[in-house]
Amino acid sequence: MNYGTIKVIEMSENCLNFINERLLPLRDFVKGLNKDTFEPDNISEDSGINDDPSKARYMRDYQSEAIKQLIFTGMGRGILDLCTSSGKSFIIANTIWTLHKQYNNNLKYLVYVPTRQLVDQMYSDFLEYGYDKKFITRLSSGLKKDD
């Protein structure tokens, strides 16, 4: 397989098991959906955050389309190349929420960000969108156990 200019010669048994157990079931799930009628879920609506007009968060068309692409094309993985304040963390939060509600509510998700500041920002954003803090774990150097 080719990934850009990197050629993968052989996959480990663990990697093959991961693909078979995690990615292929999602592919089967996606096959049963109609991309044109599929609607992503909005954590802000489901959590009740949108009941307060000053805190309401609604999905824009390009955000909904990004979630569809991440699910239908990337099987839950992908790169979001959007400008500042375009709602990348909102897209990530709602992709996870959609997969949680419509696919499998027992899965765990891992979001990588390059700096400690972004770890804190994503954590705050997810709480602001309506996630319960008991379902979010932050990992970074310098965090105390209680954080």
* Confidence class for position 10, pLDDT limits 50, 70, 90: low
What confidence tens digit (pLDDT) does each residue in 12-59 have?
Answer: 778 767 777 766 677 778 888 888 899 999 999 999 999 999 999 999
pLDDT of amino acid 78:
78
Mean pLDDT of 127-147: 83
Q: Answer whether 99's CB lies under 8 Å from 107's CB.
A: yes
* Contacting residues for 82 by C-beta, under 8 A, at least 6 apart: 66, 88, 91
Residue 100 to residue 98: CA distance in whole angstroms: 5
Q: Answer whether 136's CB lies under 8 Å from 126's CB.
A: yes
Cα 128 → chain centroid: 16
Q: Is the pTM of this model over 0.75?
A: yes
